[in-house]
Structure 1
Amino acid sequence: MSSAASATFASAAFEESPAALSRADTHEDVTPGEIAVGVIIGRSSEYFDFFVFGIACVLVFPAFLFPFLSPLEGTLAAFALLAVAFVVRPFGTALSMAVQRHWGRGTKLTLALFLLGICTVGMAFLPSHDTAGTTAIVALLVLRIGQGIALGGSWDGLPSLLSMSAPPERRGWYAMMGQLGAPLGFVLAASLFAYLYGSLSTPEFLAWGWRYAFFVAFAINVVALFARLRLIVGQSYTQLLQERELQPVAVSRVMGEEGRNVVLGAFAALASFALFHLVTVFPLSWIALHDHQPVTEVLGVQILGALLAAGAVVLSGWLADRVGRRNLLGAMAVLIGVFSLFAPWLLAGGATGNNLFLLVGFVLLGLSYGQASGTVTANFSTQYRYTGAALSTDLAWLIGAAFAPLVALGLSVQFGLVALSLYLLSGVVCTLGALRINRLMERQST
């Protein structure tokens, strides 16, 4: 199933790319639809890779790398490794901006491709703790650091270009396209793991079955990044990026001149980013540790939820163009806050409650996450938007999502599921506060 999906995905990418290339050769204008192709390709491949690692943190790494710990402690240790990539990602962004300033966007993405490919396929060959001891854990840590740096280097500026090129009355619609990568990537990753986990015995799955997911992730990353290279190195794209002044600027300069907008952009999306992990990776770990449902059944419900989320992402684009992107983001933050109050009751309600938590959570995630990208980063001056948008995204991932599974699982075990509610509510408060501050800043500037 996953192989067919990835082949279809790659085929679609290359069917669109020649059109963009032909426009580059004939100096015709690049349309927002063509830019959206590159955005969807890039985001889907990144999210697939991300979810493959996240699901492995629940189903593989606790027993594979931490057999000397309890299942709970092993899962928490794996979640700590999950967070590492988000911690180093801003450093990858800073390094990649320097590379691009000296050697160009194509060189930067090629290096990111090389590093990401090596790290992802390296995980597929990882030895177990029984075979290599602590060396296996250190090896995964190093590879995870490499993935984080590579993801920072994969920023191509296409989301900002898409936002600036889209018609003003349809910016919400085009903004949601890149966000579709999250549910699409999750569907592919969860489907692949559900098939492998359900088809193999536990010893077979832990010995070699899980490795196929990382081989597929490597293949999709290679195809997607080359497809993006074919799009952005064309002359029309290069000229359009230059005309929009979407060029890399030193991180220190951006933070010095517009650090406030970087922070506001990150906090404005915090409710969405907090919910992101709490309906994908966290519930899988909570339900698996407490034996509430079979793993394949949970993954099946999550796949259905991700499909609903994809529809909700599309709906968010339609809604945002009618009520305003920031108004929609604020309204969704309030609904996430309401949802958080019911979360403990749902997760303690057996299979029915678990399923309802997942399905409702995914719909809310789609509606909020669909407009979480760039809602406030439009405040950046044009010359700082390329680097500022990347840094805002990195910071949102770091603050909102990096430690979410680790903190939510650890606190829920220690203090009960009410801790999950408080965690989500903290993200809601941050989002509403950032949106309010942003509105006041706009009024002062007019």
Structure 2
Amino acid sequence: MEHDVSKLNSGHTGVAPSEIAVGVIVGRASEYFDYFVYGIASVLVFPGVFFPFEEPLEGTLYSFVVFALAFIARPFGTILFFNIQRRWGRGVKLTAALFMLGFATAGIAFLPGYESVGPWAIVLLSILRCFQGIGLGGSWDGLPSLLALNAPPKRHGWYAMIPQLGAPIGFVIAAGLFLYLYSELTPADFMDWGWRYPFYVAFTINVVALFARLRIVVTDDYEELLDKYQLHPVEKVSELLDTSGGSVVIGAFAALASYALFHLVTVFPLSWLIVNSSQAIDDILIVQIIGGVLALFGVMASGWIADRIGRRSTLGTMAVLIGVFAALSPLMLGGQVVHQNIFILVGFVLLGLSYGQSAGAATGNLEPKYRYTGAALTSDLAWLIGAAFAPLVAIGLSSRFGLVALSGYLLSGVICTLLALRINRSLNKD
């Protein structure tokens, strides 16, 4: 398959295979930066700015309800922008989707708080959050699928992890920016205007990422490869669901443990420790930034591991380790500061190792003409089931029943992953 990738060097475009990887990483990092800017703000800022009439815990719960709206809207955005792509092309679709995502994110920076306009502040935040989800759903460009299909023999795991690098990169940048602002500004200035700055930055990063991706996706060579592998949206999503809906569901559940863990080591610890006044905010962010770096190396290690034992075996092994981590979570997160930090750091390592192979683990079951649409919808469903409500459920149940509820929630994701991998193994082999 390597000769297919080399075609990207031919013609007038001069796009090298490495540029595809760079385009994927830049694109995903920009999306995840938006994602984590909102996630961190939903803990540090939104309870006080948009829900000041509630106690910190209840305000955080309401904030997480709005947080989940993007994941609900995301599949609708995917389908909407597939229609745009079929009519006006991939470049128009990607440009429109990223501008919607960027404008929605930047728009949040200009929102007045509850004390200024009352409930309308919450309504406007919710609308912009939905637009974020729609834009993110429409930003699917097929580059990860192209990388996977052109992976050299015994290198599928390594190529599969490349798009996943965007998550820890985006988190480290977002958390680092919030850490700087929170540390350098007075609490009043941070809550008044400081928190808005990362949302401005997100729009700028989106514009840069857009041009980096368009430089690849609008070339003739790229379109030729997409045609070769039938990486185009299907005419009717219902056709995909009728013929391969089971594979989409299995693919989503195969990554459930990883996607549930995603928010339980990023957004949830920050909210839990702040609500319970267990650590200073800047101390938590420092530990999480270190954890994000560890996750980056974990994602890369997952590629090396998967190429030796197989992607499904890697996901299954990591799911078991996440189960052990879940069982020990109450002892760590409910213990002293050092134990809380161990929870965060170990969680990030496991997240990197599992998330690195979570995308497209079951899309091999799909017919080639369904792979492009199926990969996007599988990802959307995995985020919706595994991650959308994770921080809301985790902090809600943990505050009522104790951190043992966190263990139960994460273990349920582990069980779903192991069952899905077992079913997938019977349908498709590496």
Q: TM-score, normalised by structure 2?
A: 0.96
Which one of the candidate residues 22, 40, 46 is aligned to 1:55?
40
Equivalence map 1:142-153=2 (5 Å)? 142-153=127-138
Counterparts of 2:61 and 2:407, CA distance in 1? 19
Equivalent residue of 1:167, what SS? coil
After the TM superposition, which residues 187-198 of structure 1 pair with which residues of structure 2 at under 5 Å, given as runs?
Answer: 187-198=172-183
How far does the alpha carbon of each residue in 1:338-381 deviate from its partner, in whole angstroms, 9 at most, with x for none? 00000001011121111000000000000000100111112111
**Deviations 1:289-311 (CA, angstroms, capped at 9, x unpaired):** 11111000000000001101101
Cα distance in 2 for residues equivalent to 1:403 and 1:423 = 11
1:201: Cα distance to partner? 1.3
Deviation at 1:439, TM superposition (A): 1.1
**Residue number in structure 2 paired with 1:208:** 193
SS in structure 1 of the partner of residue 162 of structure 2: helix
TM-score, length of structure 1 as denominator length: 0.93
Residue 323 (structure 2) pairs with residue 337 (structure 1): yes
- The residue number in structure 2 matching 1:93 is 78
Q: Tell me, yes or no, if structure 1 residue 372 matches structure 2 residue 358.
A: yes
Q: 1:387 aligns to what?
A: 373
Let me know the Cα RMSD of the aligned residues: 1.5
**Aligned position for 2:146:** 161
Corresponding residue for residue 25 of structure 2: 40
Q: What is the aligned counterpart of 1:414 among 388, 400, 403?
A: 400
8 Å Cα contact 1:60/1:210 also seen in 2: yes
Q: Could you tell me how far apart the structure 2 residues matched to 1:152 and 1:348 are?
A: 36
Letter in 2 for 1:308: L
CA distance in 2 between counterparts of 1:41 and 1:67 reads: 36
Query: Aligned-pair distance for 1:113?
Result: 2.1
Partner Cα separation in structure 2 for residue 157 and residue 24 of structure 1: 20
Q: Paired residue for 2:388, among 378, 402, 408?
A: 402
Match of 1:270 among 249, 256, 271: 256
Tell me the distance in 2 between the aligned counterparts of 1:367 and 1:31: 28
1:229 aligns with 2:227: no
Corresponding position of 1:327: 313
Q: Note if 1:137 corresponds to 2:122.
A: yes
Percent identity of paired positions between Structure 1 and Structure 2: 62
Alpha carbons 1:274, 1:424 under 8 Å: kept = yes
Could you list the runs of 5+ residues in structure 1 that have no partner in the other structure? 1-19
Deviation track 1:52-92 (CA, whole Å, cap 9, x = no partner) reads: 00000110000000000110011011111110000010000
Map 1:230-379 to 2 at 5 A: 230-249=215-234, 250-379=236-365
Per-residue CA distance 1:158-188 (angstroms, 9 max, x = gap): 1111100111311111111111111100000
* Cα deviation, residue 153, structure 1: 0.5
Asked if the contact 2:148–2:156 (Cα under 8 Å) also holds between the matched residues in 1, the reply is: yes
Partner of 2:3: none
CA deviation vs aligned residue, 1:221-268 (integer Å, no higher than 9, x gap): 111122111111011101111111101112111111110111011000
CA distance in 1, matches of 2:103, 2:283: 33
Question: C-alpha separation between the residues in 1 aligned to 2:398 and 2:276?
Answer: 12
Aligned residue type for 2:167: A
User: Which of these residues, 59, 82, 93, is aligned with residue 108 of structure 1?
Assistant: 93
Q: State the distance in 1 between where 2:8 and 2:370 align.
A: 30
**1:25, 1:234 within 8 Å by CA — same for their partners in 2?**
no
- Comparing 107-116 with 263-272, greater Cα deviation is found at 107-116
Q: Secondary structure at the match of 1:169?
A: coil
Q: Cα offset for 1:27? A: 6.8
Q: Is the 8 A contact 1:329 1:372 kept in 2?
A: yes
Q: Residues 71-90 of structure 1 correspond to what in structure 2 (within 5 A)?
A: 71-90=56-75
Contact persistence 1:93–1:391 (CA under 8 A): yes
Give structure 2 stretches of 5+ with no counterpart: 1-5
Aligned-partner Cα distance in 2 for 1:24–1:305: 41
Structure 1 Cα separation of the partners of residues 157 and 342 of structure 2: 28
On the 8 A contact 1:45/1:221 being kept in 2, the answer is: yes
Q: CA deviation at 1:442?
A: 3.1
Structure-1 residue corresponding to 2:51: 66
Conserved in 1, the CA contact under 8 Å of 2:9 and 2:16? no
One-letter identity of the residue aligned with 1:367: L
**8 Å Cα contact 2:226/2:232 also seen in 1:** yes
Distance 1:21 1:63 in 2: 54
Describe the SS at the equivalent of 2:20.
Answer: helix
Q: CA deviation digits over 1:76-131, x for unaligned, max 9?
A: 11111110000010000111111111111011111112211211111010101111
CA contact (8 A) 1:32 1:166 kept: no
Distance 2:339 2:405 in 1: 18
Which of 398, 414, 421 pairs up with 1:428? 414
Cα distance in 1, alignment partners of residues 166 and 189 from structure 2: 31
Please, which of 157, 168, 171 is the counterpart of residue 186 of structure 1? 171
Give the count of matched residue pairs: 424
Q: CA deviation at 1:23?
A: 3.5
Contact 1:109 1:154 in 2 (8 A): yes
Call closer, same or farther: CA 1:31–1:377 in 2, change over 3 Å: farther
Are 1:122 and 2:90 counterparts?
no
Q: Is the 8 A contact 1:24 1:237 kept in 2?
A: no
State the partner residue of 1:15: none
